[in-house]
């Protein structure tokens, strides 16, 4: 049974089980930054690996890149972020709180009813300094998107990979924004990760590729287990379009706080490459040897947030049901995303034979995916723990296992149990995992 889950339920589970913690919690945390714990780091890695698989390995027209977070600040003048990556803000003269004007309903402070200041533009980029000599340090920014690292490397990648259009460059990495309106757990963080593809195409072919990528990206989320009725596409209207975009669709997920953006697919035209040509003075045109033409490619950009994807996968997988009048919570995560694939559990941890056999089984199964041994509670509690973190299979070693060399394999969602010969266990589980 699927139930409506609140962000609080998810945040509690994440904290209790070790998926996500508040950053530097022992000092009271710091606003809207998060640490991924032992299970969160596995889930996040699986999401990124699956994205990379779909965007790079499953095709032959995309290269990868890992560009630096700190970039020459001219980059951000060229991209338009220095001039226009800003929100209009007002401050309350009484309680000193700051608000985005597009989120305000009246003319008074929503918290205390105080007077508000005139609106001021507030740039979302974090500024820091490079260099250690007083007075000579250079102001730089923490990148607010990974995309620009791809545009400034366009020439390097074309020259070294010898790619012909159409082709793309994929990158996963951290981005930073000094967000004013935060909250909603990890949904809007100040430090987050993006998974971005910049797909370079011949002008005139951009609309065809735009439609293609909107479809591909929507289907990726459903293929990874998100229910179709919880996803929708929403096209940006003229006022909402970013300064660089000709067209943009958001893939939205129905989060507990309402439909919200998971990923945006934009037609960035030739905006970025032309801007970098202007500011850097480099010729970033593409030479099309099939037609003897020189032109600046158009760019289709599917840009997703890793943290938002992780949050959506957790929410979508959350299940609660009554089993023998007791509540059971489990995460019905896709097997490819589940942090731990198999837990090996001894029925009696006081019987050395069982414990030894369980350890041996764990060793035999491990290697290709995450397999854990756990004997820290009675079997009922161990099952509940694994259910709640989304482990697809539990393997239980009992007294009979010592004689018949068989173990019980319990499946997470159905709780169905199979008795399987130890010699055939790896094959059985690999087959069920399906990868």
Taking the complex as a whole, how short is the minimal distance between the CB of residue 188 and ligand GAP, in angstroms? Answer: 4
Task: Using alpha carbons, list the distances in angstroms from residue 308 to 44, 257, 393.
Answer: 10, 13, 26
Phi and psi at residue 181, in whole multiples of 5°?
A: -90, 105
DSSP string, 194-220: EEEEEEEE-TTSHHHHHHHHHHHHHHH
By the rule CB under 6 A, 192 interacts with ligand GAP = yes
Q: Which CB atom, from 147 or from 407, has the smaller least distance to ligand GAP? A: 147
Q: Does 194 contact ligand GAP by CB under 6 A?
A: yes
Q: How far apart are CA 415 and CA 246, in angstroms?
A: 50
Identify residues 388-417 at the interface with ligand GAP (CB under 6 A).
Answer: none
The reply to whether 123 sits near ligand GAP by the rule CB under 6 A is no
Q: Which range in 8-16, 185-193, 272-280, 382-390 contacts ligand GAP by CB under 6 A?
A: 185-193
Partners of residue 286 on adjacent β-strands: 295
Q: Which is nearer to ligand GAP, 307 or 387 (CB)?
A: 307
CB nearer to ligand GAP: pick between 173 and 264 = 264
Mode of pairing for the β-strands spanning 20-22 and 231-235: unpaired
Taking Cα atoms as reference points, which of 214, 197, 216, 201 lies closest to residue 63? 197
- Looking at the Cβ atoms of 303 and 386, the one nearer to ligand GAP is 303
- Whole-angstrom CA distances from 391 to 21, 217, 227, 247 are 20, 26, 20, 40
**Shortest reach from residue 31's CB to ligand GAP, in Å:** 12
Q: Specify the residue, 103 or 138, whose C-beta has the smaller distance to ligand GAP.
A: 103
Choosing from 42, 272, 307, 334, the residue that interacts with ligand GAP (CB under 6 A) is: 307
- 8 A C-beta contact, residue 142 and residue 70: yes
Please identify, using beta-carbon distances, which residue of 84 and 129 lies nearer to ligand GAP.
Answer: 84
Please confirm whether the linkage preceding 166 is cis (ω < 30° from 0): yes
C-alpha Rg value of the chain to the nearest Å: 25
Residue number of the CB atom closest to ligand GAP: 305
Q: Which is nearer to ligand GAP, 62 or 262 (CB)?
A: 262
Round to whole Å and give the CA distance between 17 and 67: 33
> Residues 49, 94, 155, 179: which binds ligand GAP (CB under 6 A)?
179
Longest dimension (CA), the chain: 80
Among 168, 173, 302, 304, binds ligand GAP (CB under 6 A): 304
CB of 77 to ligand GAP, least distance (A): 17
Among 166, 297, 302, 305, binds ligand GAP (CB under 6 A): 305
Whole-angstrom Cα distance, residue 298 to residue 278?
Answer: 16
Subset of residues 31 to 50 that bind ligand GAP, contact rule: CB under 6 A: none
Kindly state the smallest distance separating residue 212's Cβ from ligand GAP, in Å. Answer: 18
Among 46, 171, 275, 303, binds ligand GAP (CB under 6 A): 303
Candidate residues 13, 92, 140, 147; the one interacting with ligand GAP per rule CB under 6 A: 147
Regarding 198 and contact with ligand GAP (CB under 6 A), the answer is no
Q: Which of 155, 207, 254, 261 binds ligand GAP (CB under 6 A)?
A: 261
User: Using CB under 6 A, which of 40, 166, 168, 264 touches ligand GAP?
Assistant: 264
Output phi, psi for 346, to 5 deg: -85, 135
Give the residue carrying structure tokens 């035999």.
364
Select 232 or 424, whichever has its Cβ closest to ligand GAP.
232
Among 188, 247, 336, 362, binds ligand GAP (CB under 6 A): 188
Task: Report, in Å, the least distance between residue 411 CB and ligand GAP.
Answer: 32
Residue 274: phi and psi, rounded to 5, are: -65, -40
Instruction: Please state, as a whole number, how many other Cβ atoms lie within 10 Å of the Cβ of residue 123.
Output: 18
Q: What are phi and psi of 190, to 5 degrees?
A: -90, -25
Nearer to ligand GAP, 145 or 375 (CB): 145
- The answer to whether residue 196 forms part of the interface with ligand GAP (CB under 6 A) is yes
- Laid out side by side, the sheet with 86-91 consists of 98-100, 86-91, 120-123
Q: Are 120 and 90 a contacting pair, CB within 8 Å? A: yes
Helices 7-17/379-388 angle, 10° precision: 120
**Which residue lies nearer to ligand GAP by CB, 299 or 343?**
299
| Both structure tokens of 188 | 């809007």
Our CB check for ligand GAP shows the closer of 10 and 92 to be: 10
CB contact at 8 A, 418 and 431:
no
**Interaction of residue 189 with ligand GAP, rule CB under 6 A:** yes
Q: CA dihedral in degrees (306, 311, 316, 319; nearest 10)?
A: 140
**Residues interacting with ligand GAP, by CB under 6 A?**
145, 147, 177, 179, 188-189, 192, 194, 196, 261-264, 301, 303-305, 307-308
């Amino acid at each position: 049974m699927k139930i409506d889950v609140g962000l609080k339920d998810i945040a509690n589970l994440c904290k209790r089980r070790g998926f996500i913690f508040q950053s530097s919690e022992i000092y009271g945390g710091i606003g809207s930054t998060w640490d991924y714990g032992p299970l969160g780091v596995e889930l996040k890695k699986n999401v990124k690996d699956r994205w990379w698989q779909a965007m790079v390995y499953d095709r032959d027209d995309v290269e990868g890149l890992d560009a630096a977070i700190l970039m020459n600040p001219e980059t951000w003048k060229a991209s338009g972020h220095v001039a226009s990556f800003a929100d209009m803000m007002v401050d309350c003269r009484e309680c000193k709180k700051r608000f985005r004007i597009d989120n305000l309903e009246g003319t008074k402070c929503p918290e205390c009813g105080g007077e508000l200041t005139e609106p001021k533009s507030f740039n979302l980029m974090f500024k820091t300094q490079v260099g250690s000599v007083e007075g000579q340090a250079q102001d730089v920014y923490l990148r607010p998107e990974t995309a620009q690292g791809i545009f400034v490397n366009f020439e390097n990648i074309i020259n070294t990979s010898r790619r012909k259009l159409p082709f793309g460059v994929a990158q996963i990495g951290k981005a930073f924004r000094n967000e004013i309106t935060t909250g909603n757990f990890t949904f809007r963080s100040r430090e987050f990760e993006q998974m971005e593809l910049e797909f370079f195409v011949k002008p005139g072919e951009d609309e065809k590729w735009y439609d293609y990528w909107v479809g591909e990206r929507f289907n990726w989320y459903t293929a990874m287990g998100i229910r179709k009725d919880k996803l929708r596409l929403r096209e940006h209207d003229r006022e909402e379009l970013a300064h660089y975009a000709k067209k943009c669709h958001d893939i939205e997920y129905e989060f507990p706080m309402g439909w919200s953006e998971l990923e945006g697919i934009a037609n960035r035209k030739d905006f970025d490459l032309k801007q970098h040509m202007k500011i850097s003075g480099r010729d970033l045109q593409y030479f099309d040897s099939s037609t003897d033409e020189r032109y600046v490619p158009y760019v289709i950009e599917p840009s997703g947030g890793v943290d938002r994807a992780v949050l959506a996968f957790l929410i979508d997988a959350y299940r609660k049901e009554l089993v023998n009048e007791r509540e059971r919570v489990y995460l019905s995560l896709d097997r490819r995303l589940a942090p731990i694939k198999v837990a090996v559990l001894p029925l009696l941890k006081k019987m050395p034979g069982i414990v030894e056999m369980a350890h041996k089984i764990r060793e035999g199964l491990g290697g290709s995916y995450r397999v854990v041994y756990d004997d820290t509670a009675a079997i009922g509690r161990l099952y509940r723990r694994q259910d709640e973190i989304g482990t697809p299979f539990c393997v239980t070693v009992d007294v009979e296992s010592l004689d018949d060399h068989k173990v019980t394999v319990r499946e997470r969602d159905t709780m169905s149990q199979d008795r399987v010969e130890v010699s055939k266990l790896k094959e059985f589980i690999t087959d069920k995992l399906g990868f």
